[in-house]
Structure 1
Amino acid sequence: MAAKNWIETLPEAARAYLEGRRLDEVECIISDLPGIARGKAVPAAKFARQDYFHLPDSIFYQTITGDWSEAAGDEGFIERDMVLKPDMSTATAAPWTGDWTLQVIHDAYDRTGHPIPYSPRNVLRRVVDLYRKQGWTPVVAPEMEFYLVARNLDPAKKIEPMMGRSGRPAAARQAYSMTAVDEFGPVIDDIYDFAEAQGFEIDGITQEGGAGQLEINLRHGDPIRLADEVFYFKRLIREAALRHDCFATFMAKPIADEPGSAMHIHHSLVDSTTGKNLFSGPQGGDTDAFFHFIGGLQTHLPSVIAMLAPYVNSYRRYVRDSAAPINLEWARDNRTTGIRIPLSGPDSRRVENRLAGMDANPYLAFAASLAAGYLGVIDEIRPSAQFRGDAYDSEEAIPRDLGAALDLFEDAKQMHEILGPEFARVYSIVKRTEHNEFLHVISPWEREHLLLNV
């Protein structure tokens, strides 16, 4: 580490966490394609002496099951080392550990100093840089939905809601109930404590419609910083749940008869020089950029659904009349549309993408959504007319399974240029491999209904 007293340069929350204490360990981490933290834990003294560390590029070729895809390229599967450099602005506590530990997110480069094109954080930075070259600053605000469920050690067993403080399983259909939130009080207390130790500001926490389903909203800000926070939050929430004999799951559809879990993404666009919201005109009205951004989402989101809904389970969330969109309609203050314009004043006018699932990698979900909006503004794409009424009565407009979504993704050459052609190549191969792995699995439904009846 170049700075002699590097701890003095840490973000304020990390310094406060370590005040009067001796740092034991630093977890050097990076997100793989699914969003799993990969890396190394090193003694603090060693971290202070190192400017980088190495991991093989093959971590980006693995499927969610841990198997390998044939994505290594022309040179073959040689597992070339990447150079991973710390972004010290991301240094934060790991407050659930038994000793005093920090986490630091790293960026991935090749040996010549070029960003690894299929590292998710680099993909998002590539898209954000396109905005900045236009003099625009993209702003996002994510909403994170997840379930607290009973421990599940047998994959053949159905997932069940966790037991609340009352001794009864978490109740369904209690959206916004404070009593329901109180059922998870000890877990929520730890979530707040961990978030405070890590320097994260929670904008709110509510009970959602599912049994044991909660939503946490984060304050709006820079897309890369917010993706880092969602990446950290998934780990934080899991650790808080484990302290109370339950699991936190970010599956898009963990329980058959309950709503799915989304990661709604709110977008706005700011002039980098003036700080003005580019979605609002001088008199507070909607601008062309506002409509073009919506048009971009309507036109290009189908081609990146495979990034917003990355697993076979993701598509179980897109069910008519089940609190998840099945369309690309847009409307103001209408939660049945895939693209919603929340109530707001002109300064905070924003566009909400309701298609992304909570199982998506936040870096890739933000990149996909921002890329679609960017193409809309650049190409001046006009949206359809605002939808009136219940959009579940409209026609379905998104792929219904991962295979169909990957077909659209692989054909979207314009989108590949925005996200990076090499990323698109690797992502497609990994997801195809994953999909094929799933197709080899015989489900309980098939055994129950087909074994003796066909």
Structure 2
Amino acid sequence: MSVEKVLQHIQERDIQFVDFRFVDIAGRAHHITLPASEVDESTFEQGVAFDGSSISGFRSVEESDMVMMPDTSATYEDPFMLQPTLNIMCSVHTPDGVQYERDPRSIAQKAEAFLKQSGVGTTAFFAPESEFFIFDDVRFESSMQRSFYSVDSEEAGWNSGREEVGGNLAHKVKVKGGYVPVAPIDSQQDIRNEMVSTMQEIGLRVERHHHEGGTAGHSEINFRFDTLTNSADNLMKYKYIVQNVARKWGKTATFMPKPLFGENGSGMHVHSSIFNGEQPLFYEKGTYGNLSELAMHYIGGLLYHAPALIALTNPSTNSFKRLVPGYEAPVNLVFSRGNRSAAIRIPIAAVTPKGCRVEFRTPDSTANPYLAFAAMLLAGLDGIKRKLDPVALGYGPFDNNIYELPEAVKREVRSVPGTLDEALNALEADSEFLTAGGVFSPDFISNYIQLKRQEAREVSIRVHPHEYSLYYDC
């Protein structure tokens, strides 16, 4: 959409406000709103100024002036505002007009440009499957003398014996028993329907939705694949809609990977493929999983760089409470066709040449999608460039349930890092693949590691409630 068409849309639709948005390093959106009467061609030429020193990890106070540059192809009418509002996603530039090297969206755009320059293909497609929980009540505190969290859900299995207004009607969701039941066990069909309808209203193509495997409102909605930056934009819209529709229903939604102890967590399985024009590059009929040699090298790159990659695809301390055996989490760095216990799965059901893709199951939604998708593409391209063979490197294929393999065999399988600090150590040791083509700068990587180490330290130095259970009577 051109600037002229955006301005025409504002006039024709009687838009009252224009909301300019950007995404920080952690993956959270920020916005500045202008009355529509103040938006003209110069707004799109000059951008919208903001204070970069107030955004964690961006700029120091002596160089704080930053500019949001609107992307006229990334607009939609906000479905939640009382006054008609047009949302526009932006990339961040310095005052002299240069893409800011710490702006995640600019990094995603650079990754797409690097793919074209590499000669491998023209377009990378991504499709994230972002899971979430819907709760009724969430309380938490972390202070000097008290630390706790408490969540509740009317459909949670732990409430089967609770006295409820009007009587307890039972049909609660059992622990690990939430995968695709019908009502009345699935009590949130209407909420997810409204989420889907709202997504469709703003242009997202939704393929399906369902209750996920956990109790207490575990959910998943799948929207259609798109190009790298567009898919990251779409995920930001998706999370915005999920959280605001939940709030409209008097509930709260979280994409936190592991909000409940002893229950399956929420992942963000990411499907990806590369095309050259209209030609899919991952398909070759009759091979393992119908994958081409190029696709196998792409897998080799993902698995070879996985420990470092996970610092970007699973960037929270909570991520590693999901990445433990026994809760359907893909902790083993191997590949397989159709096997959901592998870190990389090759979908084989009803797959066409254009639908042939690789599914990386390790990521979660604490990831900044612009950074995660860009890093995945760069890892795969490095595998293609170096012709990394995942079979020769010992990454599979493993077509049996990995959790049920003999212990001697499992010991030979490489696992994901056990903590955020371990993943950051891996990123420090293996970051060159990210700097190819200037996509990630050394400054960004160093700054990112510093920010994430601070998060890990904030958790590690605090007294944990379970420590009272273990040690109070020592």
TM-score relative to the length of structure 2: 0.85
Answer yes or no: is the 8 Å Cα contact 1:139–1:223 preserved in 2. Answer: yes
Alignment correspondent of 1:383: 390
Residues 173 and 186, structure 2, Cα contact 8 Å, conserved in 1: no
> Which residue identity is paired with 1:7?
L
Q: For residues 383 and 104 of structure 2, what CA distance do their matches in structure 1 show?
A: 22
Query: Structure 2 matches for 1:55-94, cutoff 5 A?
Result: 55-62=50-57, 77-94=61-78
Any unmatched runs of 5+ in structure 1? 63-70
Shift of 1:282: 7.6
Matches within 5 A, 1:365-444: 365-384=372-391, 385-392=396-403, 393=405, 394=410, 395-418=413-436, 419-444=440-465
For 1:37, the equivalent position in structure 2 comes to 29
Match 2:236 to one of 226, 231, 235: 231
Q: CA deviation at 1:230?
A: 0.4
Residues 1:196 and 1:168: Cα distance change in structure 2 (over 3 Å): farther
Residue identity matched to 2:48: F
Q: TM-score when scaled to structure 1?
A: 0.89
Q: Aligned AA for 2:173?
A: A
Alpha-carbon distance in structure 2 between the residues aligned to 1:222 and 1:30: 18
Report the CA distance between 1:206 and its aligned residue. 1.3
Corresponding position of 2:91: 107
In structure 2, relative to structure 1, the CA distance for the partners of 1:378 and 1:167 (3 Å cut) is farther
Residue matched to 2:7: 7
Partner-residue secondary structure (3-state), 2:226: coil
Q: Structure 1 CA distance, aligned partners of 2:346 and 2:184? A: 28
Partner of 1:54: 49
Greater shift in the superposed pair: 104-113 or 236-245: 104-113
Count of residue pairs brought into register by the alignment: 432
Deviation at 1:316, TM superposition (A): 0.5
Q: Report deviation, 1:5.
A: 6.0
Moved more, 241-250 or 80-89: 80-89
Give how far 1:410 is off: 1.3
Q: Could you say if the C-alpha distance between residues 227 and 168 of structure 1 is closer, same or farther in structure 2, counting changes exceeding 3 Å? A: farther
Q: Say whether 1:204 aligns with 2:208.
A: yes
Distance across 2 between alignment mates of 1:405 and 1:382: 23
Question: Separation in 2 of the partners of 1:326 and 1:220?
Answer: 25
Corresponding residue for residue 20 of structure 2: 28
Measured after TM superposition, the shift of residue 163 of structure 1 is 4.7
Q: 1:97 to 1:401 in 2, by over 3 A?
A: same
- Secondary structure, aligned partner of 2:150: coil
1:374-428: CA deviation from partner (whole Å, max 9, x where unpaired)? 1111111110241131122434511010111111111213134133222212211
Give percent identity, aligned residues only: 28
Q: Deviations over 1:153-202 (max 9, x none)?
A: 33423223345999668514121223268511332232123212211111
Conserved 8 A contact 2:3-2:72 = no
Corresponding residue SS for 1:178:
coil
Q: How big is the alpha-carbon RMSD for the aligned residues of Structure 1 and Structure 2?
A: 2.4
SS across alignment from 1:90: strand
Deviations 1:418-451 (CA, angstroms, capped at 9, x unpaired): 3322221221111112122222321111123222
Asked if 1:276 corresponds to 2:283, the answer is: no
Distance 1:356 1:147 in 2: 16
What residue in structure 2 maps to residue 353 of structure 1? 360
SS across alignment from 2:331: coil
Amino acid corresponding to residue 115 of structure 1 in structure 2: Q
| 1:59 to 1:409, Cα distance in 2 relative to 1, 3 A | farther
